[in-house]
Amino acid sequence: MAEKEITMAYDVVVVGNGPFGLSLGVALARRGSRVAVVGTPWTPPAAALLETFGDVTPRLLDSEHGRIRLDWTVQAAKLWPDWLAGLEADVLTADGTLVVLNTMGLPEVDTANFGAIRTALEQYDEPFEAVDPDEFEWLDPEPVARPLRALYLPTEHAVDATGLQAGLVRAFQAAGGELVAEGVVRLVRAGRVDGVVLESGTVLNAAAVVLADDVHAAALLPGEAETPRIVSSSVVSALVDTDDGTIPPYVVRTPQRAFAAATYAVPHRSGQVQLGATEVVAGSAPDAPPVADVMHVLNAAARQIRRDLGEGSISTLQLAGQPVAVDGMPLVGETAVEGLWLLTGPNLTLAPLLAEELATAVLGGEPALDLTPFQPTRSPIDALTRSGIVAATVTHLLAGGYETNWIAPVEWPALLEATVVTELHRRPPAITGELEVRLR
């Protein structure tokens, strides 16, 4: 397709119209910059978690960069009340979060992650309450998934993601920002990055281009950008009507389970419940929710959270994707290619903090945070060794078996573990590289 004449010029073009891209657009536009946020129209999930401590794991606490990421998330969580007030978005949907440790999975995964959550809460002197899960009447799992312990986190909420998206769009346009409802096919380069080419052939030039929420960001990156591998993280969830019309007043969730995803139920203002989740991490985003992931979400929620969820009805199956670094850490700053910047984060909570900090950097200022630990021009952080990847993979595979209530003779798990370890060590290094993606 022939490129059209350049008719639009901006200070900054942000590629990706999700919460990170729009938050950055708001931060820049409010500072007087001419900003375009570019991306094809998409529908966010009904609800989204504002996680600070609920997704903490021992590996996060044991890593220097993991502790920095957690510290940033704690700082970001404190910004949300004023951030939402500034967006005029009344979107909070849950009165806190109940984190439940149940009898599913493996101690090496589930119990360890539950303990790490409590450790982090105590380190930050965050309010929480150790509670008897039997006191929460809405929680009614099947007996083999009975809850053992629970932590109530009064300050960890969820948001109406559709309402948040609408609030960000209103605030962005009110500040003078321009939305461009098209995808980007390539970057404009003459040594440095000077803009983007849209699907229609229209060229938008700019002093800076930021790749944010676009799931095709990896395909746009020049090879010399020197960033960790960027993959697509797509979360599968389901919005359901409960049989008796009741919803919990809080988020009900487990710690992170096998291969990263927690099982949760999130109340929504529609009177429905969002059930999740599985995380599909791959080189490219799926076009629709995979059947196996949908089956896992529904089965896990019905067995581990509330038995009568199976008597309800599915309103919507949801698939929400974003680009993430292979190491699961933020990417914030300018790449090795002048004029090209990155903004990705592993969870929604970080969006207002990273947006404000990157806006300062893009405009030539000095951010309040030291962004260098997560600058794009770096190698993957805390990458496991091959033997570490194999060991962690086998543990999570076994945990997944127990979580799905597999039936096997008592001696088989040890036999399977030994067999899988041997088989994985025989595989070429490229295979373990893919496993590292799944273990981020």
pLDDT band at 393 (very low <50, low <70, confident <90, very high): confident
Task: Check residues 14 and 325 and name the one with the higher pLDDT.
Answer: 14
The confidence score (pLDDT) of residue 4 equals 57
Task: Check residues 72 and 287 and name the one with the higher pLDDT.
Answer: 72
The confidence score (pLDDT) of residue 432 equals 40
> What is the 3-state composition of the chain as percent helix, strand, coil, each rounded to the nearest 5?
40, 25, 35
pLDDT band at 435 (very low <50, low <70, confident <90, very high): very low
pLDDT tens digits for 182-220?
Answer: 999 999 998 899 999 999 999 999 999 999 998 888 889
pLDDT over 60 at 6, yes or no: no
The domain defined by 92-155+231-322 folds into D-Amino Acid Oxidase; Chain A, domain 2 (3.30.9)
Structure tokens at 186: 């390539």
pLDDT over 50 at 316, yes or no: yes
Q: Which residues pair with 273 in a beta bridge?
A: 240, 267
Mean pLDDT across the chain, nearest whole number? Answer: 89
Please report where in the chains the tokens 């995380």 appear, as a residue: 279
The confidence score (pLDDT) of residue 439 equals 37
How far, in Å, are 232, 242, 351, 424 from residue 73 at the CA level? 21, 33, 9, 35
The confidence score (pLDDT) of residue 427 equals 60
pLDDT band at 430 (very low <50, low <70, confident <90, very high): very low
- At 16 the three-state DSSP class reads coil
pLDDT over 50 at 233, yes or no: yes
Distance (Å, whole) CA 187 – CA 235 = 28
The confidence score (pLDDT) of residue 306 equals 96
The confidence score (pLDDT) of residue 416 equals 76
pLDDT over 80 at 409, yes or no: no
Task: Check residues 106 and 99 and name the one with the higher pLDDT.
Answer: 99
How far, in Å, are 164, 168, 232, 366 from residue 319 at the CA level? 17, 20, 12, 37
- Where in the sequence of the chain do the CATH 3.30.9.10 domains occur? 92-155+231-322
Q: What is the mean pLDDT of residues 358-373?
A: 97
Structure tokens at 415: 């036999």
> Do the beta carbons of residue 262 and residue 247 sit within 8 Å?
no
pLDDT tens digits for 31-73?
Answer: 999 999 999 988 889 999 999 999 999 989 998 999 999 999 9
Please report where in the chains the tokens 């914030």 appear, as a residue: 332
CA dihedral 350, 351, 354, 355 (to 10 degrees): -170
Q: pTM (2 decimals)?
A: 0.90
Structure tokens at 342: 């990155």
What DSSP line would sit under 175-186, residue for residue?
A: TT-EEE-S-EEE
Distance (Å, whole) CA 124 – CA 297 = 32
> Do the beta carbons of residue 84 and residue 167 sit within 8 Å?
yes
Q: Which residues pair with 252 in a beta bridge?
A: 98, 265
Task: Check residues 436 and 37 and name the one with the higher pLDDT.
Answer: 37
pLDDT band at 417 (very low <50, low <70, confident <90, very high): confident
Of all residues in the chain, the percent with pLDDT exceeding 70 is 93
140 residue type, one letter? D
The confidence score (pLDDT) of residue 260 equals 67
How far, in Å, are 47, 141, 162, 262, 265 from residue 310 at the CA level? 20, 12, 26, 19, 13
Please report where in the chains the tokens 């009805």 appear, as a residue: 313
Q: What is the mean pLDDT of residues 230-240?
A: 91
pLDDT band at 242 (very low <50, low <70, confident <90, very high): very high
- At 205 the three-state DSSP class reads strand
What DSSP line would sit under 44-56, residue for residue?
A: --SEEE--SSTT-
